Chains A and B, each alone.
Chain A
Amino acid sequence: MREPQEFIVFLFPSVSYVLKAEKILKEQGIVHKLIPVPRHISSDCGVCLRVAVGQQERVAGVLQGRVDWERTVFL
Chain B
Amino acid sequence: MQPEAADNRLIYFDNAATSWPKPAEVIEAMTHYSGRIGGSPGRSGHRRSLDAGRILLETREALAELFGIEDSLRIAFTKNATEALNIALLGLLHPGDHVITSSMEHNSVMRPLRFLETQGIQLSVVSCSGDGRLNPEDVRASIRPQTRLLVAAHASNVTGTIHPIAELGQIARDRGILFCLDAAQTAGALPIHIEKMAIDLLAFSGHKSLFGPQGTGGLYIREEVEKRLRPLMMGGTGSRSEFERQPDFMPDKYESGTPNTVGIAGLGAGVRFVLTEGVQAIRSREEMLTEQFLDGLASLKGVVVYGPPDAASRTAVVSFTIAGVSPSEAALEFDERFRILCRPGLHCAPAAHRTIGTFSQGTVRFGFGYFNKDEEISFALEAIRSLVAGD
A residues at B contact (CB < 8 Å) = 13-17, 19-20, 23, 34-36, 42-47, 66-67
Contact = CB atoms under 8 A, between A and B. Distances in A.
A23 B57 contact: yes
28 contacts: A13-B239, A13-B247, A13-B249, A13-B252, A14-B238, A14-B239, A14-B247, A14-B249, A16-B42, A16-B56, A16-B57, A16-B60, A16-B73, A16-B251, A16-B252, A19-B53, A19-B56, A20-B72, A23-B57, A34-B50, A43-B242, A44-B239, A44-B240, A45-B44, A45-B241, A46-B238, A47-B50, A67-B73
A59 to B, nearest CB: 18
A32 to B, nearest CB: 13
Contact of B239 (A23, A46, A67): A46
A29 to B, nearest CB: 18
Interface string B50-84: 10011011001100000000011100000000000
Interface residues of B, number: 25
A15 B73 contact: no
Contacts of A67: 71, 73
Contact of B45 (A13, A23, A47, A66): A47
A15 B41 contact: yes
Contacts of A34: 45, 50
A34 B283 CA distance: 41
A11 B320 CA distance: 57
Given A16-B252, A20-B72, A44 B242 contact: yes
Nearest to B252: A14
Given A23-B57, A44-B241, 13 more contacts: A13-B240, A14-B238, A14-B239, A14-B240, A15-B42, A15-B239, A19-B53, A20-B57, A23-B61, A46-B45, A46-B239, A46-B241, A66-B71
Nearest to B51: A19
B163 to A, nearest CB: 32
B237 interface: yes
B251 to A, nearest CB: 6
Q: Binding site of B, secondary structure by majority: helix, strand, loop or mixed?
A: loop
Nearest to A15: B42
A46 B236 CA distance: 13
Interface of B: 41-45, 50, 53-54, 56-57, 60-61, 71-73, 237-242, 247, 249, 251-252
Nearest to B255: A16
B286 to A, nearest CB: 33
Nearest to B248: A13
Contacts of B72: 20
A62 B241 CA distance: 28
B132 to A, nearest CB: 39
Contacts of A43: 241-242
Given A34-B45, A44-B240, A44-B241, A19 B252 contact: no
Contacts of A36: 45
A73 B53 CA distance: 24
Contacts of A66: 71
B249 to A, nearest CB: 5
A14 B73 CA distance: 11
A27 to B, nearest CB: 12
Contact of A19 (B44, B57, B239, B241): B57
Which residue among A16, A42, A44 has the maximum number of chain B CB atoms within 10 Å of its CB?
A16
Contacts of A46: 42, 45, 238-239, 241
Contacts of B73: 16-17, 20, 67
Nearest to A18: B53
A38 B361 CA distance: 64
A43 B243 CA distance: 10
Given A14-B239, A14-B252, A43-B242, A19 B45 contact: no
Nearest to A47: B45
A44 B238 CA distance: 9
Contacts of A35: 45
